[in-house]
Amino acid sequence: MRGKRIALCASRKLGEMTTLIEKQGGTAVIRPAQGTVFFKGSELGGEMRSIIAMRPDWIVFTTGIGFEVLWETAEREGIAAEWKRAIENACVAARGYKTAAALKKIGIISTAASEDGTTKGLIRALGAHDFAGKKVVAQLYGDTAPALKQFFLARGASYTELFPYRHVAPDRETLEALYSEIIGREVDAVCFTSAMQVRFFFSFAREKQDITPLLEAFRTDVVACAVGKVTQEALEEEGVSRVIAPEHERMGAMIMTLARYFQQ
């Protein structure tokens, strides 16, 4: 990694990653693209009441932490019994083993599950089911999961998204700097540690209506590096054809995987 400039889109563990990069002879370029996350509070309770009244046919849980936040909100808002009944009366889908484990804590077994933790895996698991005219609710943590939405709408479902948190976009000047550095080949790699960072950055790029040079840079000279499968999947959905990721989802493992890639 000697002489390489590595852009970091994370907002936490930056010191640890910077140290690892510098030990490998590289330079860290801090470009946080995570944005700010706010808990919705009572607003979320109102959204959950609307979903309970809707009586959904399917509820899709995409993260364990998201499910747990909804359950804690239901208890705080005094609607835990109604929320659990809504889940029990629906078919339930879960993305990833942590989500399935969270559901099992309240006695819910998934009708469909993605064992590999990816949206693609979840869509494969859902492929045998009929969604025409069905009311589907998808709990999303931050990633808008466009492939999941497209899947349900293409099969005639009514689709509603439920976000436990409110996400505010990162500073536009930071995104502008990162965009310019990538297309100008001023960085050699960009490390993304969440799907939300990917969505915010590429939404910004598409607003500029200038996505082609960005994708070309990632295809040829700039390496896109993801912390894990979900983040890698988000990059691929945005059109990035070359993405490297560690076998185990850890930020340190991501940096070392990138270092080995540059040694090839």
DSSP 72: H
Domain count, the chain: 2
Are residues 133 and 199 part of one domain? no
Question: Rg of the chain's alpha carbons, rounded to an integer?
Answer: 20
Q: Write down the pLDDT at residue 62.
A: 93
Question: Has residue 260 got a pLDDT over 80?
Answer: yes
Question: Has residue 236 got a pLDDT over 90?
Answer: yes
Q: Write down the pLDDT at residue 172.
A: 92
Question: Has residue 142 got a pLDDT over 80?
Answer: no
Are residues 139 and 122 part of one domain? yes
Give dist(CA 76, CA 82) in Å, integer: 13
Question: Has residue 89 got a pLDDT over 90?
Answer: yes
Q: Write down the pLDDT at residue 12.
A: 85
Given a contact cutoff of 8 angstroms between Cβ atoms, the answer to whether 111 and 93 are in contact is yes
Q: Write down the pLDDT at residue 210.
A: 84
Question: Has residue 261 got a pLDDT over 80?
Answer: yes
Give the range of the structural domain holding residue 246, as residue numbers without chain letter: 5-35+171-263
State if pTM tops 0.85.
Answer: no
Are residues 86 and 49 part of one domain? yes
Give dist(CA 89, CA 263) in Å, integer: 54
With bands split at pLDDT 50, 70 and 90, how would you rate the model's confidence at 168?
confident
Q: Pick the residue with more confidence: 39 or 182?
A: 182
Give the residue-averaged pLDDT of 84-105.
94
Give dist(CA 114, CA 111) in Å, integer: 11
Are residues 134 and 54 part of one domain? yes
Are residues 134 and 43 part of one domain? yes
Q: How far is CA 191 from the centre of its chain?
A: 14
| C-alpha angle 250-251-253 in degrees, rounded to nearest 5 | 65
Are residues 192 and 109 part of one domain? no
Tens of pLDDT along 10-51? 988 899 999 999 999 999 999 999 887 777 778 999 999 999
Q: Which long-range contacts (CB under 8 A, 24 or more apart) does 106-109 make?
A: 106/71
Helices within the chain (DSSP H only): 14-23, 42-54, 64-77, 80-88, 97-104, 119-126, 146-154, 172-183, 195-207, 211-220, 229-237, 251-263
Given a contact cutoff of 8 angstroms between Cβ atoms, the answer to whether 178 and 31 are in contact is yes
Asked which of 145, 166, 187 is the last residue of a domain, the reply is 166
Asked which of 166, 192, 211 is the last residue of a domain, the reply is 166
Are residues 211 and 151 part of one domain? no
Q: Write down the pLDDT at residue 264.
A: 83
Are residues 42 and 160 part of one domain? yes
Q: Give the torsion through C-alpha atoms of 139, 145, 147, 151, to 10 deg.
A: 10
With bands split at pLDDT 50, 70 and 90, how would you rate the model's confidence at 94?
very high
Are residues 189 and 97 part of one domain? no
Q: Which residues pair with 135 in a beta bridge?
A: 158
Q: Write down the pLDDT at residue 214.
A: 96
We report the CATH number of the domain holding residue 150 as 3.40.50.10090
DSSP 155: T
Question: Has residue 209 got a pLDDT over 80?
Answer: no
Give the residue-averaged pLDDT of 94-100.
91
The tokens describing 104, both together, are 């099992």
Q: Write down the pLDDT at residue 207.
A: 87
Mean pLDDT value across the chain: 93
Give dist(CA 1, CA 188) in Å, integer: 10
Tens of pLDDT along 215-234? 999 999 999 999 999 899 99
Are residues 48 and 160 part of one domain? yes
Are residues 134 and 71 part of one domain? yes
Are residues 101 and 68 part of one domain? yes
Question: Has residue 126 got a pLDDT over 80?
Answer: yes
Asked which of 97, 132, 166 is the last residue of a domain, the reply is 166
For residue 210, what are the contacts with CB-CB under 8 A and spacing of at least 6? none
